[in-house]
Structure 1
Amino acid sequence: MSHTSPGCGCGCAAPARQSGAAPVSIGRPVVGTGDGRHAIEQIGIAAGSFVMGDSSGDRNPGDGEVPLHAVELGAFAIDATSVTNADFARFAEDTGYATEAESFGYSAVFHLAVDAPSDDVMGPAAGTPWWLGVRGADWRHPHGRGSTIDGLDDHPVVHVSWNDAIAYCAWAGRRLPTEAEWEYAARGGIARATYPWGDAEVDDGGWRANIWQGDFPVRNTAEDGHLTTAPVRSYEPNGYGLWQCVGNVWEWCADWFDARYYASSPASDPRGPATGETKVLRGGSYLCHVSYCNRYRNSARSQNTPDSSMGNAGFRTVAR
């Protein structure tokens, strides 16, 4: 089984935007009250420690999920869900912000989801023909100009780059989680488990996450009811009360990506490498499947350039 990272052609996350392209205790949940009207329910994560990395042997070569290493973290509060279309709309309306997909004029859309005039389809990405560059695809038009987010207020916002997520955080008085914070929260207090719910398979006793069903990339049976994104409060939350940490959409983290970082990562509050070319993505998406891309796991790592956007990546935020 072969696996690669999104910037290098991973099937379940989009290729990088081409350079030079045109422009463990739970605290009581509270509601954010920052100037940016960030109203997502907050989950308080107590200071603690955990073993970070892959314990199951399911790791993807080159992703850097090992060595296993102990990490201590201070307390933080994290969004119970990914940032939704409704949340992002408040930000855009307040600030007039234009995302990078809007500025560049295109974004990456999975081929079965395209809803756009044929002239808008720029063609497949090299090595990943199921990803198409589509003019006019952005967070308000997730599948292309023929689509809207009407009725999708509670779905995760997509087609937002890392830079877009940082802009939202500045407005909301928040920040992106570090990779270590993300994994600690996603585990939900279950040590060394493969998934947020434990080690049971994703379809054991009913679907536990929004991932691909069928033959990738040509046929999705949508047994879980979703071809693309699902509402952020679908399925069951983990032990900390976080919804859909795996599947549905990839989530940007604050850290630069380096597959060798775990070998030298600090034991206390690691923040990732000082520099890099790509940013960490966590959690997998609705395109992940065990047969070719089993990144809907707690320890799975991926990456893309900070200006890249795609139809299966969003974010959630934290604060201390």
Structure 2
Amino acid sequence: MTVRTFAVHIGVSDRMVSNWEAGGVGIAPRPSNQAALDTALSCAGTEAHERFAFLITEQAAAAEDQRTEILLAADPLQFVRHPVDGKLMVEVPEGIFLGGDAGSTTWLPGFHLDVFPTTNADYFRFVSATGYPPPQHWEGSRYPESIFDHPVVWVTWRDAAAYAAWAGKVLPSSTQWEKAARGTKGNIYPWGNNPTAAKCNVSDSGIGHTTPVSRYQSGASPFGAYDLCGNVWEWCATESSQGRRELKGSAFTSPFVRATPAAFNDASTGMCDEDTGFRCVAGHL
């Protein structure tokens, strides 16, 4: 749009739009004008959302200011530590939630979900305790120290299920995973309904590899779980067809438009890749 057309579109003067452009990131619109901008964005098409996500992600990556994540982080929640693998878990209470593309009502019993995906350090404890074969990207039987807090990758569904069995847990169903990611009200993303790619590690970010599982604090779900969009695809227990299981969450290799928790993906149980990992669920602790 031209400056004048855009000004009419959101109900402000063309001089104000010009001032916003000149001021750049230093501009803080009045609440009523910000609400108009937010509404315009939410009503825009996919192309505009992708363009906005790319620009905001590029800006955040250039700044590399970790204080932003701390300031935007959700209020601290009460986590529990699992007695076997020691991972932090958060409770997802029983009840209904709005899920799927159509926002249909589904009831689920309560469960606990790992706050973070299974990291290389977590998986190392499993490998050390059981003698299970390590992932192919490790240096022998141990992970590279630089990725100790990154999600473990190059694991098949069977590998993920073996870890879960050792820990006394299971892999989440796709429905459990989606409720944990979207909350009870069926948010489009874990953090809400705004398409903000800077809140997760997707290909739009230009990072090109996995990141520490605690990095994206502002992208946490309503229940306090991290990395439910981006970083790595996560294996689920749900069988989509014979020999295939569902995957959720998208990865650092995925475009942001694939990051919605309701999106469907699956793979053969023998598949392993650089962008695929997992997390587990357990009953009441």
| TM-score bracket, shorter-length normalisation | 0.5 to 0.7
- Distance in 2 (CA, whole Å) between partners of 1:257 and 1:69 is 19
Which among 262, 274, 277 is matched to residue 311 of structure 1?
A: 274
Residues in 1 aligned to 2:270 and 2:94: alpha-carbon distance in whole angstroms: 32
Distance 1:48 1:27 in 2: 19
The answer to whether structure 1 residue 30 and structure 2 residue 30 are counterparts is no
Higher helix share: 2
- Alpha-carbon deviation of 1:188? 3.2
Alignment match, 2:64: none
The residue that corresponds to 1:123 in the other structure is none
Aligned residue in 2 for 1:198: 192
Gaps of 5+ in 2: 1-45, 47-75
**1:247 pairs with one of 230, 245, 249:** 230
The aligned runs of 1:66-215 (5 Å cut-off) are 68-98=103-133, 138-140=136-138, 149-189=144-184, 191-203=185-197, 207-213=198-204
Give the secondary-structure state (helix, strand or coil) at the position aligned to 1:89. Answer: helix
Structure with higher Rg: it is: 2
Structure 1, unpaired ranges of 5+: 2-25, 56-67, 103-137, 214-220, 259-275
Higher relative contact order (CA 8 A, sep 6+): 1
Of the three residues 280, 285, 288, the one matched with 2:246 is 280
Distance 1:41 1:285 in 2: 22
Deviation at 1:40, TM superposition (A): 1.1
- The match for 2:87 among 40, 49, 69 is 40
1:266-292 Cα shifts (integer Å, max 9, x gaps):
xxxxxxxxxx231000000001114xx
What's the CA shift for 1:69? 2.9
* CA pair 42-151 structure 1, distance change in 2 beyond 3 A: same
- Give yes or no for contact 1:155–1:232 (8 Å, CA) kept in 2: yes
Contact 2:239 2:245 in 1 (8 A): yes
Aligned partners of 1:139 and 1:160 also within 8 Å: no
What secondary structure, in the 3-state scheme, does the structure 1 residue paired with 2:177 have?
A: helix
Show CA shifts across 1:111-145 (max 9, x none).
Answer: xxxxxxxxxxxxxxxxxxxxxxxxxxx2416xxx9
Cα-to-partner distance string for 1:183-240 (whole Å, 9 max, x where unaligned): 0001134x2321111111224xxx1000012xxxxxxx72xxx321010011122221
Aligned amino acid, residue 161 of structure 1: T
Asked whether 1:235 is paired with 2:216, we answer: yes
> What displacement does 1:169 show?
0.8
Label 1:161 to 1:92 Cα distance change in 2 as closer, same or farther (>3 A): same
- What's the TM-score once normalised by structure 1's chain length? 0.61
Letter in 2 for 1:257: S
Tell me, in whole angstroms, the C-alpha distance in 2 between the residues paired with 1:227 and 1:198. 25
Counterparts of 1:254-265 in structure 2 under 5 Å? 254-257=237-240
State the number of aligned residues.
206
Distance in 2 (CA, whole Å) between partners of 1:282 and 1:208 is 17
Do the aligned partners of 1:166 and 1:175 also contact (CA within 8 Å) in 2?
A: yes
- Shift, 1:149, TM fit: 2.3
| Per-residue deviation, 1:172 | 0.5
Q: Which runs of 4+ in 1 moved over 3 A?
A: none
Give the distance between the partners of 1:235 and 1:173, measured in 2 at CA.
28
Q: Is the contact made by 1:295 and 1:301 (CA closer than 8 Å) also made in structure 2?
A: no
C-alpha distance in 1 between matches for 2:268 and 2:275 = 15
Q: Kindly indicate whether the alpha-carbon contact (under 8 Å) linking 1:27 and 1:46 is maintained by their aligned counterparts in 2.
A: no
Q: Is the 8 A contact 2:77 2:224 kept in 1?
A: no
Q: Normalised by the size of structure 2, how large is the TM-score?
A: 0.68
Is contact 1:156–1:314 with CA below 8 Å preserved after alignment? yes
When the two chains are superposed, the root-mean-square deviation of aligned CA atoms in Å is 2.2
CA 1:229–1:27: 2 relative to 1, 3 Å: closer
| Structure 1 residue 29: Cα displacement | 1.3
